[in-house]
Amino acid sequence: MKTFAKLLGAAILLTLILAACGASQPDSSKTYTEAEVSAAIEKGACGGCHTIPGIQNAVGVIGPDLGDISEVAQAALQSGNYSGTAKTTEEFIQESILKPDMFIAASCPTGPCPAGVMPGTMGDTLNSDEINAIVQYLSGLPEGAYGESTVASTPQEPTTGADIVRDPTDIPAPIGDREPTTVRLDLEAVELEGQLADGTTYTYWTFNRAVPAPFFRVRVGDTVEVHLKNDASSTMNHSVDFHAVTGPGGGSAVTQTEPGKESILTFKALKPGLFVYHCATPMVAQHIANGMYGLILVEPEGGLPPVDREFYVMQGEIYTTGDFGSQGHQASDTTKLLDEQPEYFVFNGAVGSITDQKPLTANVGETVRIFFGVGGPNFTSSFHVIGEIFDRVYNQASLTSPPLTDVQTTMVPPGGATMVEFSLEVPGKYILVDHALSRLQRGLAGYLIVDGDPNPEIYNGTSGSE
C-alpha cells in the first residue's frame, strides 16, 4: 500500500512537472546510427546492469533484460495499474530512464529488482539526443537496423587522459601515541577519463581522482566521520564499504549517494588492522574494477614500530573491450568481468604506474614497510618482491598477531591486505610482482629502486652473457 501511495505521489508530481514545463517527447523523426546508440548506452553505463541484445558488453545481471521492453511497456500501458503519463512505448521507455523510481520492474535476473539502483539522474548526464537514440533502439526502431557490430574491430588512434596513478608515497604521517579522538575523512567519487597504458585510456571511477583511493590513517578507538560526496558529473550512484566498520554493509547501507549529493557515515574503529574499503553500489564488481578501492590503517594503541620508509600499493584488474595493448579509448567489458577474464592487471591503477612513472625509492641501510592490498575484484595476489625476503609479514594484515618472519611470497585475497617489512642491504632494482607471473605480461609490475654502495659480501657475480 505504501509503495502504491508513493507511486501515485510520484505520478502526480511528474504530471505537474510535465504540465508545467512541457515534456520533451522522444524524437522519432531522426534515425540514429549504431555508433550513436552504442555511445549513448556506454555513456549511461546501461550495459553494466542491463542485458541489451545487439549491444556489445551489455550483459548486466542487476537490471531486467531490456530485449523485450516494448512488450513490457505495452503490457504496462494496457494493464490499468500504470500510473505514469506515457501513452506510447517510446514514452514509457523514456519515462523509465528519467524517473526510474516510478517503476518496479517485474523481476531482475538475481530475483526481485533492487530499489533505487538505477541512477535517477540519467536526464542530467545524457542529453536528449542520446536518450532518444536509446529509446529508439530499445523500442525496436528502426526494425532490425543493426546487424553485426563493427565497433570493436576498427583500429583506434592512441588517446591521452588524466594521470590517475596514486603515488606510492602518498601516505599520511604516523599517528603514534595519542588518545582516541574524532577524525573526519573526505571522499569524493569522480568518474574520469584516465591513462591506462601508452596510447590507451579508460573511464575510471575513482575516490578522489586516483587509484587506489586515499590511504587513511586512524587510531583504534577513534570515532571516524566519513563524508562521501558524489561529483555532479557522475553517471552512477556511488557508496563506500569500509572493512574497518562494524555495522550493516560496512557503511554502504547509509552511503548510497546520487550524483551531486553527499552522505555522512560515522563509525567507531573497534579493531586495529589494515583494512580495504571500496564502493559497494551494484554492480559492485564493476565499481571496484573501475578503480573504487583503497586502504585504511587503524593503528594499534601506541602506533606501529617506526621504519624509514612506508609505501602504499594496491592490485586490481581491468576488463576492457579491446585486447591488452589496444590503442584508444577502451570501454569496460561486462562479459569479461563476469567471466573473470581481465585484459589488464595493474598496481596503482595503470600500466607503468610504479615502474617508470612513480617507482618506490629507498637507500641501502634503510627499513621499508609496504602496505599492500588487493582491490581485485577477483584475483588473489601472490605478492613477492624479486630479490628480497620479507623480514616480517603481518599475515592477512592482522596487527594483533605476531608477524610471520622470513617469508618469500605472501597471499593476499581480494578485499584483503598485508603489511610487509624488510631491510635493504644491496643496491639495485627490485621488482614487485604477483608471482602468478603471466600477469606481468598484462601490466602488473612495480620497481623498488635502492641506492647505495655495493655490498659484495652479500651479493656479487660476473655475468656470462656479456
- List 56, 57, 89, 96, residue binding ligand HEC (CB under 6 A): 96
Q: Which of 108, 171, 196, 346 binds ligand HEC (CB under 6 A)?
A: 108
C-alpha cell at 387: 630479490
| Smallest separation, CB 85 to ligand HEC (Å) | 15
Q: Which of 414, 462, 426, 48 is nearest to 243 (CA)?
A: 414
- Residue 114 binds ligand HEC, judged by CB under 6 A: yes
Judged by beta carbon distances under 5 to 8 A according to partner kind, the member of Cu ion, ligand HEC, none in contact with residue 279 is Cu ion
Are 62 and 119 spatial neighbours (Cβ–Cβ below 8 Å)? no
Q: Which does 282 bind (CB under 5 to 8 A by kind): ligand HEC, Cu ion, none?
A: ligand HEC
Whichever of 74 and 398 has its CB closer to ligand HEC, that residue is: 74
Number of residues that bind ligand HEC (CB under 6 A): 29
Under DSSP, the state recorded for 303 is: -
- Residues 357 and 360: their CA atoms lie apart, in Å, by 10
Q: Check residue 186 and report its DSSP letter.
A: E
Scanning 175-183, 291-299, 350-358, 366-374 for contacts with Cu ion by CB under 5 A, the matching segment is 291-299
CA pair distance 397, 293, nearest whole angstrom: 16
Task: Name the residue nearer to ligand HEC (CB basis): 108 or 407.
Answer: 108
Our separate counts of H helices and E strands in the chain read 8, 20
49 makes contact with ligand HEC (CB under 6 A): yes
**What x/- string results for residues 115 through 154 when contact with ligand HEC is judged by CB under 6 A?**
x-xxx--x-----------x--------------------
CB 89 within 8 A of CB 135: no
Nearest to 183 by CA among 232, 256, 259, 244: 244
CA 103 to chain centre: 27
Provide the 10 A C-beta neighbour count for residue 263: 20
Place of cell 500510473: 83
CA atoms within 13 A on the CB side of 71: 5
Sign of CA dihedral 264, 265, 268, 274: negative
- Using the contact rule CB under 5 A, the part of the chain among 20-28, 268-276, 280-288, 343-351 near Cu ion is 280-288
* Partner that binds at residue 69, options ligand HEC, Cu ion, none, CB closer than 5 to 8 Å by kind: ligand HEC
Question: Mapped to the 3 state alphabet, what secondary structure does 222-268 carry?
Answer: CEEEEEEEECCCCCCCECCEECCCCCHHHHCCCCCECCCCEEEEEEE
287 binding Cu ion? (CB under 5 A): yes
| Binding to ligand HEC in span 272-331, by CB under 6 A | 282
Among 105, 338, 399, 440, binds ligand HEC (CB under 6 A): 105
Work out whether 369 is an interface residue with Cu ion (CB under 5 A).
no
- Sort strands 360-363 and 367-376 into parallel, antiparallel or unpaired: unpaired
What's the distance, Cα to Cα, between the start and end of the chain in Å?
Answer: 82
Least distance CB 23 / ligand HEC (angstroms)? 17
Contacted entry of Cu ion, ligand HEC, none for residue 291, CB cut-off 5 to 8 Å set by kind: none
Would you say 42 or 299 has its CB closer to ligand HEC? 42
CB closer to Cu ion out of 238 and 392: 238
CB of 293 to Cu ion, least distance (A): 10
Determine if 45 is a binding residue for ligand HEC (CB under 6 A).
yes
Q: Does 93 bind ligand HEC (CB under 6 A)?
A: yes
Q: Does 281 bind Cu ion (CB under 5 A)?
A: yes
Strand 360-363 and strand 446-451: the pairing is parallel
- The minimum distance between CB 261 and Cu ion, in angstroms, equals 13
Q: Looking at beta carbons, which residue is closest to Cu ion?
A: 279
Can you tell me the distance from the alpha carbon of 373 to that of 357, in angstroms, rounded to the nearest whole number? 20
User: Which residues sit at the interface with Cu ion, rule CB under 5 A?
Assistant: 238, 279, 281, 287, 292
User: Which residues sit at the interface with ligand HEC, rule CB under 6 A?
Assistant: 44-46, 48-50, 62-64, 66, 69, 72, 93, 96-97, 100, 103-105, 108, 113-115, 117-119, 122, 134, 282
